[in-house]
Amino acid sequence: MSDSYDGLQTSNPASRIVIVGAGIVGAALAKYLSDLSSVSIIVVESSITDLQGSTGHAPGFVGQLNELPVLTTLAKDSVREYQNLTGAFDTVGGLEIASTASGIEALERRCRLAQSAGLSAKLVSSAEAAQLAPHLHRADEAAKALYFPGDGTANARQIVAQYERDARAKGVVFLEAAVLSIEAENGHVTGITTSVGPLTAERVVIATGIWTAPLLKQLGIKLPIIPVAHAYVHGPQRPSRGRSSPFVRWPERHVYARDHGSFDGFGSYDHAPIAVDTLASTAIASWDARLDDVLDRAMSLFPDLMKKEEMEPFNGLFAVTPDGLPLAGPTQQVKGLWIASAVWVTHAAGVAKFVASMITGNTVDQDIWRAVNPDRFEGRDTAELRSEALSTYNNIYNSTD
């Protein structure tokens, strides 16, 4: 349900904050801002009842360990927040499986890294992994696995619904409208123009994922947030197995799989990155034939899970950046303009809390701020940044295995 535009233009426009985007980041930000401030907040989204961005189709795995400490911190913060919501996070655990000497060595190193970060992690045999995820892994004497019992799967739609409900209870308005432009005068944001009319605002936060760069381009702001194609597959409907399997990753093969409860799914990064420069109104793009072989290679890991004719593949777009980190915080290029984009479900609540704290003047972790500052790429060559961003696709979890 969305609110009416009537009367919004004249209600406290001077101190208003407008959030563009009602996915998991935008909804969480609205909730946290409404907890910290009594300022007028409006969230604008083109499709509130049927989320069209990455939130609406993300596989939902939340693996807290990342080679980048900032992302580990944001993931841990996010999990703590999701666990406070009803039915939002299922602690099914996560497995990383390797079968080569170098791959197993990487798992051993990641186990030490996880433990030093305060995460529960342990190396298990392939047979133990097969007991934890019997439908996704067969015991293999050559393989070992790294088990993260505290990881799990997030129900992004449920998270959004609860954040939206809580924000509405604090007076936040959710307006269903397309954002046509961001307005600025004398180097300061003044509001936005929407399909239902203009909205003035002292601050505007852009939480639009893959659509962020095109939206900001009109202001002369070039952010290296590159939408890429990604193959994910839904298998046929089946009865619940009673106990959800851990999420499984095969880092050496760039493949991952999860038990969705009533069906299985898997995705793969085992292909050259495919940038998508022409965007529609949804983050699901038309199928790219270059992904066909990707699915065939991935299926070899679990040949009995589903038949090819039963698969429902789709091309889900998400954003990559040159350093694998989100862009979050104020940009000095236009005063009053804030960014909260290129954020995964894994880090969404943590990023939203961080940005809300900055907006309301609270002290924030300076290491995180330096890492996610949206102006950190300013002055760099655009083509070079694009190339660096695409190069992060095949190592999306920022591991060095």
d(CA 374, CA 362): 19
pLDDT of residue 84: 95
pLDDT of residue 401: 42
d(CA 248, CA 145): 10
CATH class of 8-55+156-225+322-385: alpha beta
pLDDT digits over 319-356, tens only?
Answer: 999 999 999 999 999 999 999 999 999 999 999 999 99
Q: Which residues of the chain have pLDDT under 70?
A: 1, 7, 9-14, 398-401
pLDDT of residue 243: 84
Q: Which of 228, 302, 319 is nearest to 265 (CA)?
A: 302
Q: Which of 136, 156, 157, 155 is nearest to 145 (CA)?
A: 136
Q: Which of 277, 270, 258 is nearest to 345 (CA)?
A: 258
- Taking only Cα atoms into account, the Rg of the chain, rounded to an integer number of angstroms, comes to 21
pLDDT of residue 49: 81
> In sequence order, which residues have a C-beta less than 8 Å from that of residue 161 and are 6 or more positions away?
none
CA dihedral 29→35→37→42, nearest 10 degrees, is: 40
> In sequence order, which residues have a C-beta less than 8 Å from that of residue 389 and are 6 or more positions away?
224, 225, 226, 320, 321, 322
Q: Which of 228, 226, 233, 231 is nearest to 287 (CA)?
A: 231
**Please, what is the Cα angle at 116 between 110 and 119, to 5 degrees?**
75
* pTM for this predicted structure: 0.95
pLDDT digits over 220-269, tens only?
Answer: 999 999 999 999 999 999 999 888 899 999 999 999 999 999 999 999 99
Burial class (CB within 10 angstroms; exposed 0-12, middle 13-18, buried 19+) of 279: middle
* Phi then psi dihedrals of residue 76, to 5 deg: -60, -40
